[in-house]
Chain A
């Protein structure tokens, strides 16, 4: 008579333990996808040209110094509500481009706006509550993409580029160090230096530069297995200062991926 209740209590407690373990397992299974989804969204801004190199050209570039900053800020605004809980936005900005343009603005008597562009970018990053990372060259960019965080725990859930580009290349600088040229750029041949497994399965990528849809997007897809939206033709940043994102310049909506 005395043994039965003890057995019953023991079996009851063991079943409660099993139920607790089952409950924990279920909750882990429920939470696992959301934990795995938490990642990093990279926004990359290239630098502007110097006016001394561009002012006398028929196809002149970068009259406005913050084309690639204001557009990135607008995009961050758009993206933030769409991100999953736990996802973070990191804003990578090519520092030498803005440092050089600020010096040029300071020394140009015709330029009425005298801004410390680096300070202005930091203010914008603080206003958007995003992590700002300065980069000075391509190697730093590749290194951050590969090892900036543990990519097994914090994969890239998105990557977007604002800057000059041709179909084969993201130009971190253009007409800034050398007239009409780039000395820091991420070419399709550099994809081999970027680890294949850094992206989450459902990552979204987009280039807001010119011609990316013609070659960069397909090469990106074949390297990382992730589509990159890009345009066939040129993008137009002329309305960025008015609060619009860059648009496909012909109006034919030639975005592809």
Chain B
């Protein structure tokens, strides 16, 4: 049995065929591999870590420094601050001769550029939760509508304040004494 030219040609074509198939498979594999791994520049960077804002009601009530006094003139009132994320009211305000049981849950009318609520001098608006203040000011002749509660609240126009520091919780539920809920509970906006 001799190795003829015919046999040589057949072997060569067989080898070439095997090499071609191997190349194709390799190429496909390389392509698939390339598809599974995107180019380095297209890989998104992980999102930057940002400080998570306080969730829910997290009043500390212990600021490093109490708001500096801004005394006013005229009638003196007393205020007990209450913070709630879903509460638009400022807290309770009573006249000097009244008790906390008769204090009104109210909105605070600030005057930008003149006088603002004491908590605005603190790092966070919840920092003076359960603090009490000596107030100078007056009751407004209009009410304010709290869209979270669907209630009309009396408005206290602040003209001066002096911090009396943190006090015990009043054990009272926020909200108007006389409920005005024609829609029987509106949701927040």
Is A255 in contact with chain B by the CB < 8 A criterion?
no
Residue from A166, A181, A185 within 8 A of B187 (CB atoms)? A166
Contact call A166/B147, Cβ cutoff below 8 A: yes
For A200-217 the 0/1 string (1 means CB < 8 A from B) is 000000000111001100
**Which of chain A's residues have a CB closer than 8 A to the CB of B108?**
178-179
Residue from B54, B85, B107, B187 within 8 A of A211 (CB atoms)? B187
Contact call B183/A188, Cβ cutoff below 8 A: yes
User: In the bound complex, how far is the Cα of B146 from the Cα of A215, in angstroms?
Assistant: 17
Binding site for B on A (CB under 8 A): 50, 52, 56-58, 104, 107, 164-169, 171, 174, 177-183, 185, 187-189, 209-211, 214-215, 234
Residue from B88, B109, B186 within 8 A of A177 (CB atoms)? B109
Residue from B54, B107, B155, B186 within 8 A of A167 (CB atoms)? B186
Return the 9 tightest CB-CB contacts between A and B, nearest first. Answer: A180-B88, A168-B183, A181-B144, A168-B186, A166-B147, A166-B186, A182-B145, A178-B144, A189-B182
Listed stretches B21-29, B38-46, B110-118; interface member: B110-118
Is B162 in contact with chain A by the CB < 8 A criterion?
no
Residue from A104, A169, A181, A234 within 8 A of B88 (CB atoms)? A181
**Which of chain A's residues have a CB closer than 8 A to the CB of B144?**
177-178, 181-183
Residue of A nearest to B125 (CB): A56
Interface size classification for chain B: 20 to 34
Contact call A214/B187, Cβ cutoff below 8 A: yes
Residue of B nearest to A164 (CB): B189
| Contact A185 B112, CB 8 Å, known A166-B188, A180-B88 | no
Q: Smallest CB–CB gap between A234 and chain B, Å?
A: 7
**Which of chain B's residues have a CB closer than 8 A to the CB of A187?**
145, 182
Residue of B nearest to A180 (CB): B88
Known contacts A167-B187, A168-B182; 7 additional CB pairs below 8 A are A52-B116, A57-B125, A58-B85, A164-B189, A179-B117, A183-B155, A188-B182
Contact call B113/A107, Cβ cutoff below 8 A: yes
Contact call A171/B145, Cβ cutoff below 8 A: yes
Contact call B183/A182, Cβ cutoff below 8 A: no
Residue of B nearest to A100 (CB): B112
User: In the bound complex, how far is the Cα of B99 from the Cα of A50, in angstroms?
Assistant: 34
User: In the bound complex, how far is the Cα of B85 from the Cα of A234, in angstroms?
Assistant: 18
A-B contact pairs, 7 of them (CB 8 A): A177-B109, A178-B110, A180-B148, A181-B107, A181-B145, A181-B153, A188-B182
Q: Which residues of B from 154 to 189 have beta carbons under 8 Å from A?
A: 155, 182-183, 186-189
**Which of chain B's residues have a CB closer than 8 A to the CB of A50?**
112
Q: Smallest CB–CB gap between A147 and chain B, Å?
A: 24
Is B3 in contact with chain A by the CB < 8 A criterion?
no
Is B8 in contact with chain A by the CB < 8 A criterion?
no
Residue from B107, B116, B124, B150 within 8 A of A178 (CB atoms)? B107
User: In the bound complex, how far is the Cα of B109 from the Cα of A177, in angstroms?
Assistant: 7
User: In the bound complex, how far is the Cα of B155 from the Cα of A86, in angstroms?
Assistant: 46
Q: Smallest CB–CB gap between B179 and chain A, Å?
A: 14
Residue from B53, B116, B186 within 8 A of A58 (CB atoms)? B53
Residue of A nearest to B90 (CB): A179
**Which of chain B's residues have a CB closer than 8 A to the CB of A183?**
142-145, 155
User: In the bound complex, how far is the Cα of B147 from the Cα of A178, in angstroms?
Assistant: 12
User: In the bound complex, how far is the Cα of B88 from the Cα of A214, in angstroms?
Assistant: 22
Residue from A107, A178, A185 within 8 A of B155 (CB atoms)? A178
Contact call B145/A185, Cβ cutoff below 8 A: yes
Q: Smallest CB–CB gap between A112 and chain B, Å?
A: 19
**Which of chain A's residues have a CB closer than 8 A to the CB of B189?**
164-166, 171, 174, 209-211, 234
User: In the bound complex, how far is the Cα of B128 from the Cα of A60, in angstroms?
Assistant: 20
